[in-house]
Amino acid sequence: MWLPVAIFLAVCIAIILVRLFLGPTPPDRLVGLDTLNTLVIVSMVILGASFNEVIYIDVAIVYALLSFVTTLFIAKYIEKGGF
Amino acid sequence: MIEPGVLHIIVPILIVACALLVAILKDLIVAVISLAAMSLLLALEFYLLQAPDVAIAEAGVGAAISAAIYILAIRATKRR
């Protein structure tokens, strides 16, 4: 039951990676990375629901807490100029 | 319980594509963004292999520490 959802999320991740490859400027790729973060967190929750394990949801929570740090650092670097 | 056989084909292909992009690209900041994407997908692959503790370690190191240190190193150098 959960497998079509997970495969659809993997296809969405592939589409976002195409934007990550082709993005003309670094902010485009940064927004693509942030969308990729969200898609990976959603697929972790979906897979945790399908595996019937509670500990798997904790991985998604830890990832959601930590994944904004990279985006914040790169955004601060782009804000400082140099492009 | 699902059989994630198809995902074991899709996700490693995406990991290899991100790693090739890190090697090919000339712009350093774009290479760091692609490295963060590769780390993210690697954590998803550990998760698919049912090793959630390794996935938590990979999330902590790859998402928070590694890219931040790379950005600090790039900031200390000159861009051309």
Kindly provide the ipTM of the predicted complex, given to two decimals: 0.82
Measured between CA atoms, the residue of chain B closest to residue A41 is: B44
The pLDDT > 70 percentage for chain A reads 96
Rounded CA gap, A42 and A9, in Å? Answer: 8
Question: How is chain A split into domains, by residue range?
Answer: 3-79
Whether residue B56 is predicted with pLDDT greater than 80 in this model: the reply is: yes
Range of the domain at B44: 4-76
CB atoms within 10 A of CB A6: 20
User: Which residue among B14, B27, B56 places its CB closest to the CB of A62?
Assistant: B56
At residue A81, the pLDDT reads: 62
CB-based contact, B34 to chain A, within 8 Å:
yes
Contact at CB, B52 and A50, closer than 8 angstroms: no
The average confidence (pLDDT) of chain B is 84
Separation in Å, CA of A38 to nearest CA in chain B: 11
Separation in Å, CA of B63 to nearest CA in chain A: 5
At residue B80, the pLDDT reads: 60
Give the confidence band of A83 by pLDDT, cuts at 50, 70, 90: very low
The two three-digit tokens of residue B49, written as one number? 């292999």
Rounded CA gap, A4 and B42, in Å? Answer: 21
The least confident of A14-18, A41-45, B61-65 is B61-65
Distances (CA, A) of A60 to A6, A46, A52, A64: 15, 10, 14, 6
**pTM for this predicted structure:** 0.85
At residue B3, the pLDDT reads: 61
Domain count within chain B = 1
